[in-house]
Amino acid sequence: MPHFGLMDEKKLGPVEGPLQRARLHIRAGKRRLRQGKTSAGIVTLYDALEGAMKYCLADPGRREYITVAAGENLNHERTMYTALLRGGIVDGSFDYDAFDQLVEKALYEEVGEFDYSDMLAGIESVMMQLGVMPFDEAALPPEDPETF
């Protein structure tokens, strides 16, 4: 994963750790898409979304708006997204279901030629709503060029 060796998520804590991981994965996911590694880019952006949601759920300033129903498991990505939607943190304009289906496909096969501009615009939109973007890429640890 793009964050290995670039950060210690546990040391950063439950708020800053997932935030840093999300940002590193956004950068790496976009790079992979530009390089034509479409499936890897999509899966990396999915991990960025997971980190962004964990960051948001751990942030005390946002947590107060989120209600968790009995039996809901916030370790499940779809449940996290639903809780953030219910709390008004995200507006629902991002098509989580379509992205989840695309990720499922990308996990098992190379997506190949794919105009990812709409998907990337959706990811960037939800990342702004979650407070992860914008960010200064120069403030991140430098990428290892040997990373996939």
Query: HEC states along 92-119?
Result: CCCCHHHHHHHHHHHHHCCCCCCCCHHH
* Residue 139 burial class via C-beta count within 10 angstroms: exposed 0-12, middle 13-18, buried 19 and up: exposed
Distance of CA 102 to the CA centre of its chain: 14
Indicate the pTM of the whole model.
0.87
pLDDT tens per residue, range 117-142: 999 999 999 999 999 998 888 887 77
Angle at 9 between CA 3 and CA 13, to 5 degrees: 150
pLDDT score of 68: 85
Q: Which of 56, 64, 65 has its CA nearest to residue 128?
A: 56
Please report, for residues 37, 43, 48, 63, the alpha-carbon distance to residue 13 in angstroms, rounded to integers and kept in the order given.
31, 24, 17, 16
pLDDT tens per residue, range 41-75: 999 999 999 999 999 999 988 888 888 888 889 88
- Going by pLDDT thresholds of 50, 70 and 90, the confidence category of residue 12 is low
Placement of tokens 């964990």 in the chain? 54
